Every structure is written in structure tokens, then in C-alpha cells.
């Protein structure tokens, strides 16, 4: 092989390797066939609102099965404590009984809110929470623990929406996006109609969010 050709081939291979490292799920991308999918949605109160329009649209597309386990106020770490927390037990049971082929995760908003001077309900934050609380440091071990629970199942982390109640915690959001082994859906660029609390969406806001997620999933998940 002539040297210029060899160099070009080496560069091309290097580019492919870098691209695959940049997207941990690139090799798992495939067109969605909804009748063959068993979709599990887990998350906090935002997932509670998202579940209805998501299920309605997926049912209309003939999804094989759909289940939601969403609990308001929950944080990421609560879904990782096997045997010692309700959400973790519910997730373990759903993985064993429901056997999803695709898990959608809508978590992070309550974790992010915990770094404020007040908690997500507007009450004074209690130690160790508050302005000095590093969400990224506190959750860096929870991400791989949750990933371990979902090993072998395709998954998508639905990133937290932007709220006017606090600035996005860039370090925390980047931690999830960079370290989740499945795909990461970035919600931040989507304009979502909010309720008066400036946090939860209106009915139309949840519908917009659901439609955007499904359209993105159908590009390959």
C-alpha cells in the first residue's frame, strides 16, 4: 500500500474511533419499530405529566407495551438504592416483570433544585443542601449505579427542561450527558409552556415535549 493511502486510511479509522467514543450509544442506534417495543418511563413529577401524552401517542403507533413509574419529588439516587427505597424496589420489579426493551428516564430536576438557598417547594434548604451543594459531586456515583441496573436494556435519559426558577447547573447536566451509556435527549432548546410555578408544564407543554421526544426517538434509539 502506498504511504499516502495508508495515512488516509489511518486518519479515517481514527475519525471513526473518536466519533464512536463521543457517542456511547452510536453502535446501538436503530430505527424504532414500536410494535416490538416495551417502553418503561421512570422519573419525577415531570415524568408524571409526560406519561399521559407519551403513552397516548405510542399507543396510537401500536407500541407493544407501555408502563410508567413516576413519583414527584424523587432524585436520581433514590432509584439506585436496591432494597432500601421504594423507587429502587419498583424499578427492580418492573425490570424483572415488565422486561422493557427501552427505558426512558426523566430525572434531575429535583437534584438540580437542591443546590438553591431554598428547596424545590420554596422552603429553606436544609444541610447538606443549599448554595454550596455540588450536585455533580453528589450524583457522580449515582449515574453508573443506575446504568448498572439497566445493563442490557436500551435507555434514553431525557434531560431536564430549563426553568426560570433557577439557572441550569451546567456541571450537573454535562455529567449526565457525558456519562450516561445510553442516549441523551437535550430538552433545553425546546420551548415548553409552563404552569404558574414556572417549573411544571401545562397540558400543551407536556404534549410538545412528548412529540419532540418521540420524533427524536424515531431517528434511531
Query: Is there a contact between 129 and 114 (Cβ–Cβ < 8 Å)?
Result: yes
Above 90 in pLDDT, residue 115? no
Domain boundaries, the chain: 32-217
**Distance between CA 65 and CA 100 in Å, rounded?**
8
> Which runs of consecutive H residues, i.e. helices, occur in 61-141?
86-97, 109-113, 135-139
Nine-digit cell string for 167: 439557572
Q: Give the pTM.
A: 0.81
Q: What is the pLDDT of residues 31-85, one digit of tens each?
A: 789 999 999 999 999 999 999 999 999 999 999 999 999 999 899 999 998 666 7
Query: Is there a contact between 113 and 99 (Cβ–Cβ < 8 Å)?
Result: no
CATH 3.40.50.720 assigned to domain 32-217? The reply is no
Amino acid at each position: 500500500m502506498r504511504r499516502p493511502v495508508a495515512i488516509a486510511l489511518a486518519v479515517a479509522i481514527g475519525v471513526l474511533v473518536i466519533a464512536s467514543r463521543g457517542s456511547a450509544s452510536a453502535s446501538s442506534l436503530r430505527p424504532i419499530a414500536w410494535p416490538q417495543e416495551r417502553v418503561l418511563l421512570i422519573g419525577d413529577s415531570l415524568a408524571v405529566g409526560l406519561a399521559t401524552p407519551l403513552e397516548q401517542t405510542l399507543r396510537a403507533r401500536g407500541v407493544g407495551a407501555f408502563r410508567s413509574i413516576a413519583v414527584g419529588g424523587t432524585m436520581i439516587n433514590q432509584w439506585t438504592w436496591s432494597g432500601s427505597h421504594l423507587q429502587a424496589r419498583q424499578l427492580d420489579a418492573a425490570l424483572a416483570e415488565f422486561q422493557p426493551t427501552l427505558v426512558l428516564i426523566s430525572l434531575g430536576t429535583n437534584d438540580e433544585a437542591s443546590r438553591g438557598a431554598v428547596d424545590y417547594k420554596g422552603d429553606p434548604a436544609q444541610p447538606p443542601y443549599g448554595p454550596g451543594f455540588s450536585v455533580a459531586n453528589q450524583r457522580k456515583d449515582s449515574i453508573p449505579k443506575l446504568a448498572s441496573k439497566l445493563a442490557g436494556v436500551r435507555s434514553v435519559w431525557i434531560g431536564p427542561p430549563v426553568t426560570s426558577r433557577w439557572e441550569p447547573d451546567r456541571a450537573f447536566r454535562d455529567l449526565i450527558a457525558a456519562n450516561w451509556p445510553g442516549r441523551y435527549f437535550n430538552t433545553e432548546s425546546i420551548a415548553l409552556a409552563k404552569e404558574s410555578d414556572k417549573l411544571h408544564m401545562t397540558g400543551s407543554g407536556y404534549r410538545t415535549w412528548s412529540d419532540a421526544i418521540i420524533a427524536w426517538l424515531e431517528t434511531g434509539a
